[in-house]
Structures are given as structure tokens and as C-alpha cells.
Structure 1
Amino acid sequence: MHAPPDQLGPATFRHDLVLHSSAEELAAVAVPFLRAGLEAGEAAVITTSEPSATMLRDALGDEHVHVLPQHEVYQARTPAAITAFRRLAERVTGRGHARLRVVGETDFGKTPRDWLEWQRYEAVLNEAMRSWPTWGLCAYDVESLPAELVDCGLRTHTHLVSADGRRPNPDYTEPADYLRALPLPDEPLEATDPLLRVDDVRDFAGLRHAVGGRLAQLDGPQDALEDLHLAVDEMSANAVRHGGPPVRLRLWASADRVVCTISDGGVGMDDPFAGYGPAHGDDLSHGGMGLWLARQLCDHVDVIDGPDGLTVRLTTLLR
């Protein structure tokens, strides 16, 4: 059991939420938040959509406030976004700042399937950034976000901030519990005949060639298909190395996506944070990179821990 963030000392992650319905409402909270950080010797970063980013920057009028374009953070996949914030915190503290303050606005994407990856991210951030000297103020526009995503904000941020001050969030849910409760999306392709079906993987090199052959027949971005191939390799190797037999693979494709499931008959893995960073930290020589790489190589990664073993579902969009 982890202590609440406020009990961990000043050099630890804080994850606050401001609900607003206009750029002016956001500025009324975010400007004092960033200004207080600057006055305390902290670094200040804004990564919101326009016109909020410009309004906040102009209101502060301080050359030490850095505006990081929203698309640079949130068009990357979720592990890359986490790594970006860790590296930014590392860089600013290395320059003598006590802490990094960020006003951020998560870009959840256009579809519920896209939303899920960033809903997971908001919960994972509490664990992934726990020991990093960063204070995040996440901005949720209640006029434009669906109710499901506003609820995500209320479940994943420890404190609420308004013009009246900062207070504990009564709706905050422990990240692991929130992640486990998120629904697993159905994949209609799984009800169709697969392009490739292997019921007991024994020849890993042969499997690699078979997958590559099927992917080479598809009409889609070559880079995306190569990334998927690498992710399939990593997940198949993980299943053989860490799971129990039999290891099974299914590959499907449609005009807009490719889906691959890799299953094993092992004891499973009850770790909802797995794959959002290397399993052994920055020392990659110890391995533990498979799921982390897959989350960066594919558009969607679902880890399904069932009674008969573990299944990893990889999805790459072709359009």
C-alpha cells in the first residue's frame, strides 16, 4: 500500500485536476499555479490546446515558461508520453529547479477505442511518476469532453483545484483498481476466420516467417506493419519464455486494422501497470522490454488475464 502523494514529501508526484468550461476559467486556476511554482524556483511547462496555451503564456509573460505543443506529447503512444515527462523532470531538476510544474490537457483521441489508451495513462501516471519531482495540473474541459472522460478525470486525480483552492478528490480511485475495472473492448475480427492460426508454437523462427509473410500481403503503411511484426515477435518470445504451453497465435486483418493475439497457458500476470516502462528501469540489459516495446509499436495493446492463461492482443491501424 502506497502512502497518499501529500505524505511522500515535496519531491514527489502530485496529480491535480481542474474542471473548466472556458479558457478564462482555466487561466483563473492555472496562472496562479504556475506563477507560484516560478516564484518557488520551480520550472513551468504548458502543454494544452489552443487558445488556452497562448492565453496562459501571455498571462504569465515569463520567458521561463515553456510551451510544449500538445500534439508532441499526446500523439505519441502512452509509454512515450510518460518517458517524455520523466526526462523533462530530470532535465529541469538537473538545471537547479526544485520541481517541474505542468499544466497539461490530455488529447484522448477521436474514438472510444482511442480514449481507453489515455484513460489507462491517466491512472498509470500516478504510479509511473510517483517518485519524480513533478506537480501536474490536468485541465478537463467539461463542455467538450464526453461524460465518460470527465469521470476518468475524477477517478484518476488525487486533488481537485478551483478558484476557491485545492482539496482532496473524494472520487479518486486507487490506480490499480481503476485499471482493472476498465472494460475490455470487444474485437469483432476475432469472430472471423484468422489469416494465420498456430495452436502450439514450437518453431519460433518459422512463426516469425509465417507472420511476416501474411503481413507482407496487406495493403497498409509499411512502417506500421513492420512495427507490428516486431511487437508480435516480442510477445511471442515472452509467451514462450515466461508463460506455459501451449503458446497460441491468431492474426486477423481488415481494410482498417490488423489484430494479433498471442496466448499462453501459464499462470497469468496480475499487474495492470506492466509495459508502461521497462521492467527493470533504465538498465535495459536485464530485459523486461517486450510489453513496453509493444505498447510503443502498436496503436492498442490489451493484456487479458484469464483462467486459462494470459493473452496479449495487439492492434495496428492501417488508416
Structure 2
Amino acid sequence: MSRPVAQTAGARVNWTATGGVGHPSPGGFPHDALLYDSVDDLVGTVSPFLTDGLAAGDAAVVAVRPRTAAVLREVLGEDPRILVLDETVAYARRAPAAITAFRRVAEENAPGGSGRVRVVGEVDFGPTERDWLEWERYEAVINEALRGWDLWGLCLYDTVRLPGPVVEAGRHTHRQLVTPTSRTPSPAFIQPALHLRNLPVPDEPLERTPPRFAADDVADFIGLRHAVAGELAGLTAPAELIEDFLLAVDEMTSNAVRHGLQPVGLRLWTAPDRVVCTITDGGPGWDDPFAGYGPAHGDDLSRGGMGLWLARQLCDYVDIRGGEHHEGDGGISVRLTIRLP
């Protein structure tokens, strides 16, 4: 038996209204956040968001933590029209894969006509500030990366469970904040491109130590790959993890040689818990904060432009620095990091 939805004082949001706080126009990507501290606020917002959508011809998808899914299932029952995704599938280990997953959700569940797919999502932001930053980037990026995919996202932020900086970041990355009785613009929202450019590049202490391997003027790709592979051969790590990292290093080194300016340099560090590689060149770099969160030329992979996109999928962290952030005068550096199990 489903749990009755708590009654909340005040007028309930009319999710299907046209204009105002209602149904946004097709083609955009409404990206709302619910900052909640009680089960009543959770179910009092999510339940009508989904059920009103179903009544209006939208599709409904839920990708949340198991505990949240259990609460919502008690309220909504086993409605076969609501697709419940495993959160680890929807929010894969890395942000670009999550973007791809939700684009697939839009394609496979499109209701047709003027309808869209309403998605209730809950990110596992991870245990460290470094993880929080990576997923904050994701929340900013999808404002543009999912534009035009006929999705409507409602992201859940449990203010009791989540750290304060994560909740505050949610205010910056979502255009609308919702409650059981309101849907209003977030006064702290920052335009995604500006927000991404202003996010810090985390410090990496290993870069202040002598590298395990260094190449100052990369020209021989095959020799470089063998050299890096040799340095990583003794690590206690799954072979496929090392191969993925080597591929990311190949792609970013190739990009630096083809699109940057000589000399191209490489530095490699290893630690018990991670491997770090920084590739540098003297070129001007790029100023697109969304670069690498999708193939540069969309679905036409034959046109190339996949290097940074692949690197973001193959590495846990990809950090780009240019200008004053680069060692020396000008130039750009790309830092690749994988965590070791």
C-alpha cells in the first residue's frame, strides 16, 4: 500500500501549467533543485512532479539512492509508468558518462508530441572535496549539455546528509529551487560558463615533487607510450585501468602536438592511491569551459575531436590550466589523474 502524501499548507505547485512556474517550453533543459530536510518535503514535491507529469503525457524516471527510492516507492506505489534506474548506472563513475546516460534516457523514453521526460536525480557527491568539485562541474555543465534533449531535471539535495558546501553549490548550479508550494528562480544561480571558469583548479602536491618520469620535448609517440607504460607496469592496479590511463595520455599528448605549440612536455607521478600525468605545451589553449563533456562534433565521431572527451571518461579527474596557471610563460597544461584501488 502506498503512503499518503503529507498535506502541506499553501497552494501546491501547478507543474503542468503553461507559463509562470509551470511547464517550461520544449527545447530547453529545466534544471531544478529541491533542498529538503524532511521526508514530507521530499514526497510533497517529488510525488506531484511525477504524477502531474504522467497526467500531462510526460514520461517519469527516477535515479536516486536506494533509501530515497524506497521512500518514493512507498508513496507512489509500483506504478509501471515510472522507470526506476539504478543510480550507479545513471550516475556512472565519471560525469561525461552520466551525461551520455541521461541523453540515452531522453531518447529511449521520449513520450512523443510535446511531452518530455521528467527525471528525479540524486547525485552521490562522494566523500572528498575533490569529488564534490567534479560533480559540481557536472551540475553546471548539464545546463548546456542537456539543452534540447526534452528532459526536465529535478535534483535532490538532502540538507541533513550532504555537506554545506555541496548544498551551496546546488544553489549556484540550478536555475530554479522548488518546494511543495513553490518553484522560484535561485537567487544564487550563476551562469554555467562563468561558474565553470571561476571554479578553482585543485592543488596537486605531487607536482611539487620530482616526477617519476619526464619528457621535455615529445616527438616519438611510440617511444613515449612504451616509456610511460614501463613506469606503470609495476603498479598494483587492474590492467584495464592502466590501459585506460595510457590511452588518455596518448590522446592528450597527441592533441598537444597537433593543436598546441612546441615544446610539448610530460611529467608522470605515482603514489599509493593515485597516478598523475601533466601534459604541457606552448599554445594558447582554449576558452570553452564545456570542452570534453561530449564529442567536439556530436555524434559524427569520424570528424575527430574526441581526445578531451575520452580523457574525461577514462580518468577520474581532468584539470586544465592556462595562462597564469601554467608553469612558466603562457602555454597550457592538462593534468590527468586516476585513483588506484
Distance (Å, rounded) in 1 between the aligned partners of 2:25 and 2:150: 10
Partner of 1:312: 334
Distance (Å, rounded) in 2 between the aligned partners of 1:96 and 1:150: 35
Deviation, structure 1 residue 22 = 2.7
Cα RMSD, aligned residues only: 1.8
Partner of 1:29: 45
Contact 2:27 2:147 in 1 (8 A): no
SS of equivalent to 2:244 = helix
Deviation, structure 1 residue 95 = 6.2
Contact 1:57 1:67 in 2 (8 A): no
Partner of 1:249: 266
TM-score by length of 1: 0.95
Contact 2:35 2:159 in 1 (8 A): yes
2:167 is equivalent to residue 167 of structure 1:
no
Distance (Å, rounded) in 2 between the aligned partners of 1:146 and 1:184: 20
- 1:61-210 aligned at under 5 Å gives the runs 61=77, 62-93=79-110, 98-210=115-227
2:57 is equivalent to residue 41 of structure 1:
yes
Q: 1:300 aligns with which of 306, 317, 333?
A: 317
Q: Deviations over 1:69-105 (max 9, x none)?
A: 2122224310000000011101112766820001111
Contact 1:258 1:317 in 2 (8 A): yes
Point out the structure with max Rg over C-alpha. 2
Cα–Cα, structure 1 residues 156 and 226, in superposed 2: closer, same or farther, change >3 Å?
same
Distance (Å, rounded) in 2 between the aligned partners of 1:24 and 1:106: 20
Distance (Å, rounded) in 2 between the aligned partners of 1:170 and 1:157: 10
Contact 1:280 1:287 in 2 (8 A): yes
**Where in structure 2 are there 5+ consecutive unaligned residues?**
1-21, 325-329
Q: 1:19 aligns with which of 26, 35, 38?
A: 35
Cα–Cα, structure 1 residues 218 and 28, in superposed 2: closer, same or farther, change >3 Å?
same
TM-score by length of 2: 0.89
Q: Deviations over 1:173-200 (max 9, x none)?
A: 0001111111111111111111110111
SS of equivalent to 1:51 = helix
**Where in structure 1 are there 5+ consecutive unaligned residues?**
1-5
Distance (Å, rounded) in 1 between the aligned partners of 2:104 and 2:335: 29
Aligned length: 315
SS of equivalent to 1:179 = helix
Cα–Cα, structure 1 residues 269 and 45, in superposed 2: closer, same or farther, change >3 Å?
same
SS of equivalent to 1:245 = coil
Structure 1 runs of 4+ aligned residues shifted over 6 Å read 94-97
Distance (Å, rounded) in 2 between the aligned partners of 1:11 and 1:281: 17
Contact 1:23 1:52 in 2 (8 A): no
Query: Which deviates the most, 94-103 or 52-61?
Result: 94-103
